[in-house]
Amino acid sequence: MKRQSRRTLIQAIAALAQNAYIPGFFRGVIFQGKSKLLCVPGLNCYSCPGALGACPIGSLQAALGKRGRFPAYVLGTLLLFGVLLGRLVCGFLCPFGLLQDLLARVPLPKAKLPRWLDRPLRYLKYAMLILLVIGALLLAEPVFCKYLCPAGLLEAGLPLTSLNPQYAELRGTLFYVKLAVAVAIVLLALFVYRPFCKYLCPLGAFYGLFNGVGFYRMEVAESKCVRCGKCKAACPMDVDVVHHPNSPECIRCGKCSTACPHEAISCGFRRK
């Protein structure tokens, strides 16, 4: 099996494992078992009918919204995933990342934003990370999940309101605003690779901070590298692999390693 096919298989297994409560999709109800107390690594809505665990972003906001309580467990879980895996979570374990990868395979013309626009937009996800924390602290409500997160609308809002009349009555202006945001991101993902991951995801921003210091590393063997540029051309996240193999933008998809004709790029749980 080819490397990218293996990655897709791992992504699919991870998505199914995090949303394995199949009856929820038929009944339009949310799983209430004890596993809901645990955070999953990727962006996967707590209210998805099949979700067995909690989204770390939603858990962080909920904990921060409870005045006087420090979110030790949630931060500890995020730090653990960050230190061990970094943005490997984005490339292999995030259900919304899988959705964007599948949308990218639709045979439509692909585009890359010009550098003068792309680079500033990359900082938006860090602004989202800061704002969701500040918003949760000041407003005592899950700002990101409530007003922006497309995963929440696609995984929870649409299934629940479609399957359960009780939830259908809750559709209002906010629902349709979030629907518009989700549709815009889905449409953009047909033409631009992983736009949500590149520009808006606060979880990716957090994990990216650990790419350069975490246990999972990308390495370029200088003795083998001939600076042909094929790795950079193959990278869907537009990372300069030779000079910045552990860039915060790297989702560890491995396409650079596959494209390298000299096997100069390696990855794994090791340090120089």
How many CB atoms neighbour CB 268 within 10 A? Answer: 9
For residues 60 and 197, which has the higher predicted lDDT (pLDDT)?
197
d(CA 50, CA 259): 37
Segment among 129-133, 148-152, 257-261 with least mean pLDDT: 129-133
Residue 272: is its pLDDT beyond 70?
Answer: no
Q: How far apart are CA 193 and CA 211, in angstroms?
A: 20
Q: Are 250 and 87 spatial neighbours (Cβ–Cβ below 8 Å)?
A: yes
The average pLDDT across 20-46 equals: 93
120: exposed, middle or buried (Cβ count in 10 Å: 0-12, 13-18, 19+): exposed
For residue 223, the model assigns a pLDDT of 92
pLDDT at 159 over 90: yes
Q: Which of 30-34, 137-141, 158-162, 170-174 has the lowest mean pLDDT?
A: 137-141
Q: With a cut of 60, say whether residue 139 has pLDDT above it.
A: yes
Spatial neighbors of 166 by CB under 8 A, at least 6 apart, are: none
Query: The pTM is what?
Result: 0.93
pLDDT of amino acid 136: 76
Distance CA 200, CA 121 (A): 8
Higher pLDDT, 211 or 132: 211
pLDDT at residue number 188: 97
Residue 231: CA count within 13 A, CB half-sphere: 29
Tokens of 253: 């998809």
On the question of pLDDT at 11 being above 60, the answer is: yes
d(CA 111, CA 30): 38
Percent share of the chain, pLDDT over 90 = 77
- Chain centre to alpha carbon of residue 135: 20
- 83: alpha, beta or left, given left = phi > 0 and alpha = psi -120 to 50? alpha
The predicted structure's pLDDT at residue 170: 79
Segment 80-113, tens digit of pLDDT: 999 999 999 999 999 999 999 999 999 999 998 9
Number of neighbouring beta carbons within 10 Å of residue 203:
31
Nearest Cα to Cα of residue 209 among 178, 240, 247 = 247
Task: Give the Cα separation of 254 and 235 in Å (integer).
Answer: 8
Q: How far apart are CA 130 and CA 37, in angstroms?
A: 24
Tokens of 32: 């209430």
Judge whether residue 132 has pLDDT over 90.
no
Task: Calculate what percentage of the chain has a pLDDT beyond 70.
Answer: 98
Kindly tell me if the per-residue pLDDT of 207 is higher than 80. Answer: yes
Sign of CA dihedral 134, 138, 139, 140: positive
Instruction: Identify the CA nearest to 76 among candidates 89, 94, 63.
Output: 63
Q: Can you give the pLDDT at residue 190? A: 97
Average pLDDT, the chain: 92
Cα 209 to chain centroid, rounded: 14
* Partners of 266 in beta bridges: 219
Residue 30 has what DSSP assignment? Answer: -
Please, which residues have CB within 8 angstroms of residue 175's CB and are 6 or more apart in sequence?
153, 157, 161
Q: What is the dihedral of CA 253, 133, 61, 167, to 10 degrees?
A: -90
Average pLDDT over every residue of 11-32 = 94
